[in-house]
Chain A
Amino acid sequence: MAGLAWINPLYLAGLALLVIPLLIHLAQKQHDSSTRFPSLMFLERIPRREKRRFEIRNWLLLLLRCLLLALLALAFARPFFSGAGEAAALDPERSDSVVLLDRSYSMRIGDGWERARAAALELVDARGTADRVGLILFDEETLLLSDLTSDAAALRALLRESSPGYRATRLASAIEQAARLLEGSTAGRKRIVMISDFRGEAAPRVPRIAPDIEFETRLIELADNANAALTAVEILPASNGAADEFALAVEISNRADDTLQTTLALELGGRVLSRRALELPAGGAVSETFDRVPVNADLQRGLLRLGDDALAADNRLHFVYSRTQQLPVLVVERDTPRANQAVYLNNALRLARAPAFHVERRSVDDLEPADLQNRAAIVLDDVALPGGELGDALGAFVAAGGGLLVAVGDTAPVYWPAGDDGFLPGSPDRRVDAARGTAFELAGFAPAHPLAAALGPRQVADLAGANVFSYRVFEANDGDRVLARFDDGGAALLERAVGDGRVLVLTTTLDRHWNDLALQPAFVPLLQQALRYLTAYQAPAGDTRIGSVVDVLRHARALAGADAVVAAADLGPLVIESPSTRALRLQRDAALLTLDEPGFYQVHNAAPGDVEIVVAANVDPAESAPGGLDLERFVEDIRTSAATPRADAAPTLRQAAAREREQRLAFAILAALLVLLLVEALSANWLGMRRSARRKEA
């Protein structure tokens, strides 16, 4: 039942003002002027009667004025209907507490979770009869287990059923959630008690809470027992460049203060491939590399596992290797290439990571249409463009989404399908040579182009330092775009979009034959970014840590080995199997997967079939690191922040609407006040006119 409460009850003292109109009405009698009369001869003969000195006239007006003042006092006191079950005013005897219980995975260290839960139970048991307790579990998310209640049995049951998760700690949002829970409380004492190991965040955001809320902490001290953690893994091409092998670089940290002896095992497809003994220095980290790891499947599931220690959650690191994470690139060369013609190009592509390029080379004379299949990009390095069937296949390759990079040199283009019907940018013309002792420079690079954005301004500037001695003149056609020019105005880099693919033409060579571009620091990034741009490469979801949200289809595209899932738009919803074999169904147009537990999430079509996509989920390694948080300062900052008035404390729309609803009584009083003011003014005016008329008459 809603009760009536006052925001400013002190204003009710204003009801004492009611005496004012009373005095005015009494005093008004005394100040009435006398009426002139011809003679008092007869009146003086009549025996006098004791005249009442104070007499109230105009009772209606007096009541109106009293009512006006009373309503004014009530309006200033701001009455409102408090929420259900709440007392009409502050209850100084009652105490409301919200217990914030940390359930991040670091609480799994030793008996941390049991002690935290015991501390919460202690708070529940220690409360007074009328006191209420709310319960919130938090890690990266906050889970409201129980609103404020005095039902201790229910709270105990909820605590018994709760367990820690695999996510990291976020303190600020949990505290703010607890403060919101206490917002409507009318208890005399309001407090938030946070039970946590305070690991995971070294410098958390300072949350703002109401000044009347007390903030307390219960630190769960965790013994820094032997604990090693797998903190990072990187998948690299194998050192020998073999396409069916890869390398793994692993980082292992020791959270303990003592040297730790442990083992590191690499498992692929459920089989232990390698096991190594490690000695981890106290508080330090080591890096281990597994080279030439064989690839057995398109999507290979791997697991790195450390020996048992105090915290098991950070001892396992899951990963997925996709064979197609190496973008296949075909380099087409001349039959008799120049000396060192391919060196710069090959080195630049070999150094690429994320993605790595799997490079194959072909002589233009040996090239067949079948060679173009399963390529992400093709580089034509100063060759005469083949016509005929091969030319058509090349056009089809680009139109289907392939990328084509053409570097022009001595070989004069004979077949050059440009213009509206072609797929190549610009029309080739003569060769231009710089005067002896001079060179052309790259003078302008389209700044808004994705390629320029990917390179960054510094590398674009580096490119301007290159000397270009010769280039071939190209006239841009409709639909072509000149991305870069030489300082004499000639086009240096042209682009044409065809179907789903793109073509880039460099009007000079990729080796040092016509320029010294290959010697510039920006050369390697330029080539790698150009191929990423041409292949529309999208990195796979980099952060597959627990708590993150993965766009399944984007992830599939990045892996590029999941064409079946991506293309099969008519196969209904996607089915996700979590590590605990819990099956979820996601619609294809909103296939967002939240990772809750460590392990492999398998994504496939609703119809039974092979696994199409695997997402590896791991815990956030920062959570298990001993905290660098200065707890005392953090608590002090929260209290200081609470005591500081908030200039920007704009209520939310919901809060504003609720306040509006609650104070509708005050608004009604104000409306009545206005009406009464009008009535009082009219009445007083009318009475005044009537009195004047009577006096005049008299």
Chain B
Amino acid sequence: MLRSKQSRGQAPGERFIDPAVLTRIDNLELIARGVVDGFISGLHRSPSLGMSVDFAEHRSYMPGDDVRRVDWRLFARTDRLYVKEFEADTNANLHLLLDVSGSMNYGSGAVTKLEYGKMLAASLAYLSQRQRDRIGLIAFADDIVERIPPSLKHFNQVLHALDRLQAAGAGRFHEPLAKVALQLGRRSVVALISDLYDTPERLLSAIDQLRVRGNDLIVFHLLDPLERSLELGDVASLEDLETGVRLPVETGFYRERYRELVDEHRAALERSFGANRIDYIFADISQPLDNLLYRYLSDRQRQTRTR
């Protein structure tokens, strides 16, 4: 059912699924499996989100160590107490932060940004669940509207919550993300999925609340092709999806300057997030989702090796 089609600019043998095809599947888990299972075999090594369960070494027991970590078999052979050391001793938390403000309800093609964001979130959740990470979801607009705490067992709840979400209302970042920062108990991987309609400074300020608490941040910036180009044809006025404000425009006159501003915005975000070690991924929602994931995870793997 999930037939993929060849996209322009991809390597031979790599198949990605058009978002328009994915929207026809009314099952986020199935979508996530199709996306993830499809491309994961193309990777030479399993992707990692920064944790591992591989055994590292034994060390002598020190007072205060948890007795549950004592290697009793080795004690039996050597009559000395050793504890096992692992590269990562516990599963990571993946917090999916999905923007559900009114602006996400826009799409000039087959999918809106919200639908694309839902599919992206589901795919990330599925990927993490395969790695036995805890998965949590927080949806926000001008406040938090949905929260599922991270758990190994919450994959299905996350999918169900994603399925229910509707985009509406004005969007804010600082206040909801401040609340999220307070609710994150331990260091987590936080994936923010949004169209980022705010100034780079305020966005960085909001996201920085999470970063300073040691969370690993990934920002997915979703935009529709028309949002970038303003190729709207002959329209009289535009209505803001979040505020309802109308603005009479002559698109021909505004178009060039608009594109410059959007490009400047993207560049500023990339620059400021990069400077703060925040992963910034720009996503054109007309492009295949699996292509995006493949590209992102490849980059992330490369970055992990270099870190």
Contact = CB atoms under 8 A, between A and B. Distances in A.
A694 interface: yes
A37 B232 CA distance: 10
Contact of A35 (B102, B103, B224, B235): B235
A44 B197 contact: no
Given A697-B108, A698-B226, A46 B257 contact: yes
Contacts of A34: 235-239, 246
B233 A43 contact: no
B239 A46 contact: no
Interface in B155-174: none
B227 interface: yes
Contacts of B242: 38-39
Given A36-B241, A694-B234, A42 B106 contact: no
A694 B108 CA distance: 11
Which residue, B104, B198, B240, B253, has most C-beta atoms of chain A within 10 A? Answer: B240
Contacts of B258: 42-43, 46
Interface string B182-217: 000000000000010110000000000000000000
Contacts of A694: 233-235
Interface string B145-157: 0000000000000
Contact of A38 (B197, B198, B233, B257): B197
A698 B108 contact: yes
A436 interface: no
Contact of B247 (A29, A44, A691, A697): A44
B200 to A, nearest CB: 12
Given A34-B246, A45-B261, A46-B254, A39 B240 contact: yes
Nearest to A697: B108
Contacts of B84: none
Interface in B217-259: 224, 226-227, 232-243, 245-250, 253-254, 257-258
B106 A43 contact: no
Given A57-B234, A698-B226, A41 B197 contact: yes
B194 to A, nearest CB: 11
Interface string A11-37: 000000000000000000100111111
A51 interface: yes
B298 to A, nearest CB: 29
Interface in B103-119: 103-104, 106, 108, 113
Contacts of A46: 254, 257-258, 261
B88 interface: no
B219 to A, nearest CB: 17
A671 B113 CA distance: 54
Nearest to B243: A40
Given A29-B236, A43-B254, A46-B258, A38 B224 contact: yes
A251 B114 CA distance: 124
A49 interface: yes
Contacts of A38: 102-104, 106, 113, 195, 197, 224, 227, 240-242
Nearest to B237: A34
A40 B197 CA distance: 9
Q: Which of B226, B227, B236 gathers most chain A CB within 10 Å?
A: B236
B236 A40 contact: no
B262 interface: yes
Nearest to A694: B233
Interface residues of B, number: 37
B265 interface: yes
Contacts of B262: 42
Nearest to A44: B247
Nearest to A693: B233
Nearest to B242: A39
Nearest to B253: A49
Contacts of B235: 32, 34-35, 694-695, 698
Contacts of B246: 34
Nearest to A52: B250
Nearest to A35: B235
Interface in B66-98: none
Contact of B239 (A35, A44, A45, A695): A35
Contacts, number: 85
Given A35-B239, A46-B257, A40 B247 contact: yes
A215 B257 CA distance: 84
B282 to A, nearest CB: 15
A49 B252 CA distance: 12
Contacts of A57: 234
B231 to A, nearest CB: 9
Contacts of B247: 40, 43-44
Interface string A610-636: 000000000000000000000000000
A32 B237 CA distance: 8
A37 B108 contact: no
A505 to B, nearest CB: 109
Contacts of B198: 41
B254 A39 contact: no
Interface string B256-272: 01100110010000000
B192 to A, nearest CB: 17
A36 B232 CA distance: 11
Among B195, B234, B242, B257, the one with the most A-chain Cβ atoms within 10 Å of its Cβ is: B234
A80 B247 CA distance: 55
A57 B241 CA distance: 27
Given A43-B247, A46-B261, A37 B238 contact: yes
Contacts of A49: 250, 253
Nearest to B109: A697
B248 A51 contact: yes
A39 B249 contact: no
Contacts of A44: 247
B249 to A, nearest CB: 6
Nearest to A691: B234
Contacts of A42: 258, 261-262, 265
Contacts of A45: 261
Nearest to B257: A46
A29 B245 CA distance: 19
B12 to A, nearest CB: 33
A338 B233 CA distance: 129
Contact of B245 (A32, A40, A51, A695): A40
Nearest to B248: A51
Contacts of B195: 38-39
A404 B237 CA distance: 115
A694 B231 CA distance: 10
B240 A37 contact: yes
B237 A35 contact: yes
A695 B108 CA distance: 10
Contact of A36 (B106, B253, B257): B106
A630 to B, nearest CB: 81
Contacts of A29: 236
A40 B239 CA distance: 8
A287 B102 CA distance: 125
B252 to A, nearest CB: 10
Nearest to B264: A42
A37 B254 contact: no
Contacts of B224: 38
Nearest to B105: A38
Contacts of A695: 235
B303 to A, nearest CB: 30
Contacts of A51: 248, 250
* A37, A44, A49, A51 — most chain B CB neighbours (10 Å): A37
In the A-B complex, list the 3 residue pairs whose CB atoms are closest, starting with the nearest: A38-B103, A32-B236, A34-B237
Given A39-B240, A43-B238, A46-B258, 11 more contacts: A33-B236, A34-B237, A36-B106, A38-B103, A38-B224, A38-B240, A39-B242, A40-B240, A42-B262, A42-B265, A51-B248
19 contacts: A32-B236, A34-B238, A35-B232, A35-B235, A35-B236, A37-B240, A38-B113, A38-B195, A38-B224, A38-B242, A39-B195, A40-B243, A41-B197, A44-B247, A46-B261, A695-B235, A697-B233, A698-B108, A698-B232
Interface of A: 29, 32-46, 49, 51, 57, 691, 694-695, 697-698
